[in-house]
Amino acid sequence: MRKNLVKEKLKREEAVIGAAITIPSPDIAEMLSNLGFDWLFIDMEHAPLDVKDVQLILQVIESSDVTPIVRVPWNDPVVIKRALDVGAMGIIVPWVNSREEAEMAVKACKYPPKGIRGCGPRRAAKYGLETLSYLKSADEEIVVVVQIETVKAVESIKEILSVDGVDATFVGPMDLSASLGHLGNPDHPEVKEAIRTIIKAHSGTKVAPGIASSLGKVEEHLRMGFKFLNVTSDCDLITRGGREVVEYVKEVMSKLT
């Protein structure tokens, strides 16, 4: 198993940026893998991606330096195992609200005696060609990220951060705003205060704080101390780029008529 460059950078407290893959297209994933992102976030939670799509995406980005991380649909050891076995180098687990749930996420990502991951890495171990070396390195190289997106998670943040094996957190501002009663308004003062509470709780820990950010928010989040940042997605890049083209061409057309 190759070195997980994102995990190494996070240990050095360096910031890393990622982009979400939500479209089941190997071509789009391959394009994104060559743009210089530190990691790509393959989303099985909110996007129509199953394990076959994930494997195809992992195969086409294999030649790049990008670290492939999969957000699984739930804190389910079976789904986590399958994502890892097809070659994910990190897992984002949604809806982690307690120490117990964080422990369950970590155990699902690690082999015994540290965890409960079943032993059959298949593609991750080059289809059996590198099984022993993979088994020796997987626990150390795979990055485990737990998502903080509810009031309960904020209240339990110190307990969650105390779990050995949690490498990073990932704040979901939209879900957090919904949980706080401000659906669709991640800029509400109460949501911002909750995010400040989360970032403060990381002080003195070895866990890297992360967040679902954006181009408009990334400077603010970096200044706050976030290190693991998702800054865009395939859909965002296509729609934003397409809108800019249409608006520019229509502006030119209006000047000529």
Residue-range domain boundaries for the chain:
5-256
Reading the block at residue 204, the tokens are: 């003195």
Q: What is the percent of the chain with per-residue pLDDT over 70, rounded to a whole number?
A: 100
Q: Where do the H-state alpha helices sit in the chain?
A: 5-11, 26-33, 51-60, 77-85, 99-109, 131-141, 151-155, 157-161, 173-179, 189-201, 218-224, 234-256
Reading the block at residue 251, the tokens are: 């502006």
Q: Taking a C-beta distance cutoff of 8 angstroms, is the pair 78, 116 a contact?
A: no
The pLDDT score that the predictor gives to residue 257 is: 84
Q: How confident is the model at residue 38 (pLDDT cuts 50, 70, 90)?
A: very high
Is 202 known to be catalytic? no
Does the pTM of the predicted model rise above 0.85?
yes
Q: How confident is the model at residue 126 (pLDDT cuts 50, 70, 90)?
A: very high
The full length of the chain comes to: 257
Residue-wise pLDDT for 199-216, tens only, equals: 999 999 999 999 999 999
The pLDDT score that the predictor gives to residue 228 is: 98
C-alpha dist (Å) from residue 85 to 91, 110, 116, 138, 222: 12, 12, 14, 11, 33
3-class state of residue 218 by DSSP: helix
**Average pLDDT, stretch 66-79?**
98
**Average pLDDT, stretch 215-228?**
98
Q: How confident is the model at residue 253 (pLDDT cuts 50, 70, 90)?
A: very high
Q: What is the percent of the chain with per-residue pLDDT over 90, rounded to a whole number?
A: 100
Superfamily of domain 5-256: Phosphoenolpyruvate-binding domains (3.20.20.60)
Q: Taking a C-beta distance cutoff of 8 angstroms, is the pair 39, 69 a contact?
A: yes
